Amino acid sequence: MAKDRLTEVLERYEAVIGLEIHTELTALNSKMFCGCPVEFGGEPNTRVCPVCLGLPGALPVPNEAAVEATVLAGLALDCEIARFSQFHRKQYFYPDMPKDYQISQYDLPFCGLGYLDIEIDADGAAQRVDLDGGAYATRIGITRIHLEEDTGKMIHVGGAEGRISGADHSLVDFNRAGTPLMELVTEPDIRTPEEARRFAQKLRLIMLNLGVSDCSMEEGSMRVDGNVSVRLRGKTGLGTKTEVKNMNSFRALHDALAYEIVRQADVLDEGGRIVQETRHWDVGAKRTSTLRSKEEAHDYRYFPEPDMVPFEFTSEWIESIRARLPELPDARRERFMLEFGLSRSDARALSEDADFAGYFEEAVAIAGVVLAKPLANWALGEFSAYLNAGSVAVSEAKVTPAMLAELVELIDAGTISGKQAKAVFAEMVASGDAPGGIVELRGMKQVSDVGAIEAAVDRVIAASPDEVAEYRSGKTALLGWFVGQVMREMRGQGNPALVNEILVKKMG
């Protein structure tokens, strides 16, 4: 679907979007109400026990770490933390839950009203520079965050895209059943697919920084459902919404919402009405289709979980969880701008991942704040490229913060040129050796000796009379070619600034 269709529709209609985001607490080592391990995959139905299989007489015991993680997430998002809270049973008939009900939260969730501020760039593309020139920030309200248990996984065999309709038979895997699952619901404050994407991305970064989940969209440990309606610009009140499921990437979330906004506008333009329903995003066909209509809506018959006492949180306990809040990406970005004088975009890119930010800070501590800017360039450039190319974790990187600091110091001291430094970096990655040793061993030191450079320049001028004549007759663009020739004479070790200067002087 062309992007301009969305732009055109959004001139007449305003989109209203609310997200429901499920995050599996994969970083905790057990399920929500039993001690079974939490891990993606595994032979079907091997990570189960009487509790998560719902066998009669098995008693669920809440996972304390999961309760703490949910409250920690709530505090990170400025939510109100409940003083009194409770689990409820949500009844439904579908074979993905062996108990025929899911333990969830209903009217007494752990976390109430909160918010998250997101930034959108002028061209709608997230993660770019400053908040000037048309960029903006907007506050998205959070309605609630509650804790529940994940369901098992159904595999529908023979149906289109693994959907139940048309399936020949279905298989069920209870390994996932009972995994601690945090559900966050936003207010309908989101206005564009780009804002929705940005919200989900930022939430993911926060969860990763809190260390509660691996937040993998592909493996389903972070799942985003989009509720969306449209209304004519200038109108207040909410239109009928649809809910889109099955988006397993941020791009899919964006595209599914964009598709749905245009589809709803087309229906309304033709005088039709929107049917409240749940729709499925087909990534291949790039369209949504009806999954189930609201008329089939279940009555979940919630009632308080009788096997568990309610929770009463004291303010001391809440404060003890608050004390565990790590520095989050926004605060870290502001600090990097202030302490290191970095641009907003560099500071943002460096501060998203806690390990990466820690690596950078360690390198700055060694090389000194004056070298923060070149260190940022190297960390975001060569170092990131090296990590990405080999899917290397920061903690496993062969190039340590001390090595990167030393490399930047060598450039700063004029010992090696920036170009030589790239070759040294490649060698550091290959051998794990420190840059000083590599420079020494390879005789890579940059030559700044004026006499040596002049001699090389003279040799090049003498060997290229035609080019010299062309240059002198005005084709000054040839200078780059001359620099290359001199560098070759000097085995790449000439100080580039001096080579330039001496060439210009001698040929002028």
Residues that bind ligand ADP (CB under 6 A): 16-20, 185-188, 227-229, 238-239, 241
Question: Per rule CB under 5 A, is residue 103 in the interface with Zn ion?
Answer: no
Q: Which of 5, 22, 30, 49 binds Zn ion (CB under 5 A)?
A: 49
Least distance to ligand ADP, CB of residue 370, Å: 48
Nearer to ligand ADP, 187 or 454 (CB): 187
> Token pair for residue 300?
């979940």
Minimum CB separation from ligand ADP for residue 262, in Å? 16
Give, in order, the Cα–Cα distances in Å from 428 to each of 43, 66, 141, 149, 196: 41, 42, 47, 47, 41
Residue 490 near Zn ion by CB under 5 A: no
- Compute the 3-state secondary structure of the chain and give helix, strand, coil in percent, each to the nearest 5: 40, 20, 40
Q: Which CB atom, from 78 or from 100, has the smaller least distance to Zn ion? A: 100
- Backbone Cα Rg of the chain: 30
Q: Is 66 in the site for Zn ion (CB under 5 A)?
A: no
Closest approach of Cβ 30 to Zn ion, in Å? 8
Nearer CB in complex with ligand ADP: 257/367:
257
Would strands 303-304 and 13-24 be described as parallel, antiparallel, or unpaired? unpaired
Of residues 222 and 486, the one with the C-beta less far from ligand ADP: 222
Q: How far is the CB of 241 from ligand ADP (least distance, A)?
A: 4
The only residue of 25, 27, 28, 34 in contact with Zn ion, by rule CB under 5 A: 34
Distance of CA 420 to the CA centre of its chain: 33
Q: Which of these segments, 26-34, 98-106, 228-236, 371-379, binds Zn ion (CB under 5 A)?
A: 26-34
Per the CB < 8 A criterion, the answer to whether 162 and 156 are in contact is: yes
Separation CA 83–CA 77 (nearest Å): 17
Shortest approach of Zn ion to residue 49 CB, angstroms?
A: 3
The count of other CB atoms within 10 Å of the CB of residue 377 is 14
- Amino acid letter, residue 449: D
Q: Does the protein bind Zn ion through residue 404 (CB under 5 A)?
A: no
- Return the closest-CA partner of residue 85 out of 64, 59, 111, 60: 111
Q: For the CB of residue 134, give the shortest distance to ligand ADP in the complex, in Å.
A: 26
Tokens for 458, please give them. Answer: 């003279």
Q: How many helices (H) and strands (E) does the chain have?
A: 17, 15
Q: Which does 52 bind (CB under 5 to 8 A by kind): ligand ADP, Zn ion, none?
A: Zn ion
Smallest gap, in angstroms, from Cβ of residue 187 to ligand ADP?
Answer: 5
Number of residue whose CB is nearest ligand ADP = 18
- From the list Zn ion, ligand ADP, none, partner contacted by residue 328 (C-beta under 5 to 8 A by kind): none
49 contacts which partner out of ligand ADP, Zn ion, none, CB within 5 to 8 A by kind? Zn ion
Between 49 and 185, name the residue whose CB sits nearer to Zn ion.
49
Strand, coil or helix: 449 = coil
| Smaller CB separation from ligand ADP, 40 or 300 | 300
Q: Which is nearer to Zn ion, 47 or 332 (CB)?
A: 47
Concatenate the DSSP letters of all residues of 239-294 into one string.
---EEEEEE-SHHHHHHHHHHHHHHHHHHHHTT--PPPEEEEEETTTTEEEEEEEG
Reference 102, options 123, 122, 87; nearest CA is: 87
Summarize as ranges the residues that interact with Zn ion (CB under 5 A): 34, 36, 49, 51-52
